[in-house]
Amino acid sequence: MPLKIPLQKIGHEDSRYERPNQKWVCGHTTDGRPCPLGPDAKGACTSAAQCSCEPLKEGDRWQCTRLGVYGGPCPNGPNPDGSCCHPQPEFNVCHPRLSGRTKRTRIVFACLAFTVGLLTVALNGPWTTAIISPGQLSHAHLAIEPINGQSSNCTVCHNASGVTQSGALGHLGIPDRLVQSENCLTCHFNQDRDSALRVHNVNIDQLASWGKRDNQTPQTASPTLALVAATAMPGIHTNIQNDIACATCHQEHRGKMHNLSQLSDTQCQVCHTTSFASFNDGHPAFDLVSHTRSGIAFDHQKPKHASRNCADCHMPDTAGISMRLKPYEQACMGCHNQGTEDWHGSSLKDNSHLVFQLPLLEVEDIYWPEDAAMGEDEIPPLMRLLLLGDDDALAALQSIDADADGIPAEWFPDEDESMSLFTKAVKHLLDDLAHGDEKTCRKRIAKALDVAPNHRRVTALAKPLAAANFAFLTYQQRWLPLLSDDLEGEEVKKNETQEPDWSYPDGHAGWYVDQDDIAVSYRPIGHADPVIKGLLDALVESESTGVNSAKAQTSDATATRAQQRSMILKQLTDSGGFARTACLTCHQMEAQSQAINWTASNRSQAVSGFSKFNHGPHMTMLRDSDNCTQCHKQPGPEDQTSAVLSRCQFLPHDKATCASCHTPTQADNSCLNCHVYHHQRP
């Protein structure tokens, strides 16, 4: 309803000029009687000044010039001398008040000061870590989370030393997550750090080859606008030359239940542009057997194997995710028992590993019994390795004629000095093994492997060798009884031996003196024999570290020992070698890394690279009449020549079987349901 009485008067004398931006207002404002000018800038009342005037002289009289808004000319008029009479102020003296705007400004400053104070307290106290933490870590990293009363653990992942310490400002700058990723690698990707930050953790050449394969089979796709834009962007991971920071995908501090590895299908499709719309629409058929690669070579088609039930050898792991092989004792030993029907043969000799044997050399004036020197072939691997721990032996091994083709009589065609050196080194070795203790063995093996004497690989070999001194002592007493005199420089008869009045074990495992070959041999005591495994592991590890540290080899001797160790490994693992026959038939050796798959599954690398499978939910779907062959189909006669058979002799999985359930509505069909990003398990 409109006002009948107009309040706002218009006119320069009636309508005052408001100054809401001034700091102070008249104290009489609330009474409705503010003075026209208001307080001064310092908040002092100006009513007295407002009522004063500068009198004007008209003729012989002084006139008051006070303005109308201040009450007009005062009744008394100026003083006789022309000064203002300073009449009683028209407006009572007031206590000026802050204007609304000034109050607001003060509230702003108060709030700001409160906030800054609160932040200062928050960032300087034992509670700082809890306050600046952007959130709880995920389950996987909860161990890093600082517990009450403990100091900050932020530096485990972050390079900053904390805001409460002096180093914080030193870390200011443009954030580089790749630098932070180095901290992730402290715990993750211990196997292959070089490719840890690469796209899919594989080297560029391999990735490029996969890219070509992808491009060769373009599929139909219906990209969204965002996907088209994302594909067009110069992405950090679309360029395979770039390293990718872990935090690109793994966003931390999002709570205990946060899924660190969550990726959407569209994010996969930014790179995999020529792929397909979904699993059900255009996903290629499985041309590889996607189960985890087994480290054990096993032919499922072999009649004796094919007649067994799957559950005889396989069982689900504790989480039910993957099917594992049962231990050797449960799955294999029933048939492949040591010394009966195993790969090692049935006799003691066929199962034995020659350890020490005197080579058949043509020697003169050297204590080297000809009837005991039966070695007509290469130096036994373990004996050669032990000789590497002796510098004289190393020099002699180097002087062996490369064209001798393994025949000892031709090893030293001209150099009597080298032969003398060699025979002496061999006798020293025998003396060490027969009379020395574990320390002696440890010292020799450590030198041979170029590692510290307390290295675990040294221990694995030194302990059993030291315990086997009875066999070497027996050998020495029987075939080289005057070894001590010879080594001390006394002249002894060349072929002096003792009668075989001792006995040796027959049909037993372990160290023994072989009377037929006149050697000390070792027969593995069973599956996973520690001596043989220790020898192979030492050589394999030495081979891998030797290659990597080739530049670091400081002396010729070290390089020579590395070459000799490679030769020993080759001798053991080549066709006909002891390890090839005894171990590597089942425990296959990786072609590139030469690592031996001692266990059934190498979980660090899947054969299909980027696939995963959880057996648990699938097994609960099996009906009574179903079995493993529902998915793991064995080939029929027509498939025997098919190139698509896996090395375990199974046909590739049928995509239609999976796609029948894995639809967008029935079961999850996203990329990450079956695929993993990391080619190498972090």
Partner 1 sequence: MVQPIRTFRFRRYLSSLLTLALAAGLALLLIASNLSLRDTHYATGWALLGMILFLACYNLRKKLTYPPLLRSATWLQLHLYVAWITLLVFAFHIGFRIPNGIIEVTLATLYITTFTSGVLGIILTRAIPPRLAVRGSEVIYERIPMFRRELRLRAENLMIQSVEKTNATILSDFYTAHLADYFARSRNLRFHLMQSHKPLHNLLSKLTTQDRYLGTEERAIAVELRDLIKTKDALDYHLAMQGILKIWLFIHIPLTYMLIAVAVVHAFLIHVFLG
Q: Kindly state the smallest distance separating residue 152's Cβ from partner 1, in Å.
A: 11
Q: Kindly state the smallest distance separating residue 551's Cβ from partner 1, in Å.
A: 31
Distance CA 655, CA 279 (A): 9
Q: Kindly state the smallest distance separating residue 51's Cβ from partner 1, in Å.
A: 19
Residue in the structure block whose two tokens are 């002087």? 399
Closer residue to partner 1, CB minimum distance, 262 or 663? 262
> What are the CA-CA distances from residue 640 to residues 251, 305, 636, 651 (Å)?
48, 17, 7, 10
Closer residue to partner 1, CB minimum distance, 254 or 681? 254
Closer residue to partner 1, CB minimum distance, 17 or 624? 17
Contact 448, 385 (CB under 8 A): yes
Q: Kindly state the smallest distance separating residue 52's Cβ from partner 1, in Å.
A: 24
Q: Kindly state the smallest distance separating residue 109's Cβ from partner 1, in Å.
A: 8
Closer residue to partner 1, CB minimum distance, 7 or 285? 7
Two tokens, residue 129: 């870590």
Distance CA 395, CA 417 (A): 11
Q: Kindly state the smallest distance separating residue 34's Cβ from partner 1, in Å.
A: 7
Distance CA 142, CA 158 (A): 15
Closer residue to partner 1, CB minimum distance, 147 or 452? 147
Contact 198, 232 (CB under 8 A): no
Q: Kindly state the smallest distance separating residue 445's Cβ from partner 1, in Å.
A: 46
Q: Please report the beta strands in 352-495, taking only residues with DSSP state E, as ranges in sequence order.
A: 353-357
Smallest Cα–Cα separation from 594: which of 552, 539, 551, 532?
A: 539
Contact 492, 485 (CB under 8 A): yes
Closer residue to partner 1, CB minimum distance, 63 or 239? 239
Q: Kindly state the smallest distance separating residue 120's Cβ from partner 1, in Å.
A: 10
Closer residue to partner 1, CB minimum distance, 255 or 413? 255
Burial grade of 103 (CB within 10 A; 0-12, 13-18, 19 or more)? exposed
Burial grade of 580 (CB within 10 A; 0-12, 13-18, 19 or more)? middle
Closer residue to partner 1, CB minimum distance, 132 or 185? 132
Smallest Cα–Cα separation from 199: which of 191, 190, 211?
A: 211
In a 13 Å sphere around the CA of 421, the CA atoms on its Cβ side amount to 18
Contact 682, 185 (CB under 8 A): no
Backbone angles phi, psi at 459, to 5 degrees: -60, -40
> What are the CA-CA distances from residue 420 to residues 122, 368, 414, 417 (Å)?
80, 10, 12, 5
Q: Kindly state the smallest distance separating residue 224's Cβ from partner 1, in Å.
A: 9
Closer residue to partner 1, CB minimum distance, 133 or 604? 133
Closer residue to partner 1, CB minimum distance, 231 or 673? 231
Closer residue to partner 1, CB minimum distance, 48 or 233? 233
Q: Kindly state the smallest distance separating residue 241's Cβ from partner 1, in Å.
A: 16
Contact 199, 259 (CB under 8 A): no
Phi-psi region of 588 (alpha: psi -120 to 50; beta: other; left: phi over 0): beta
Q: Kindly state the smallest distance separating residue 267's Cβ from partner 1, in Å.
A: 5
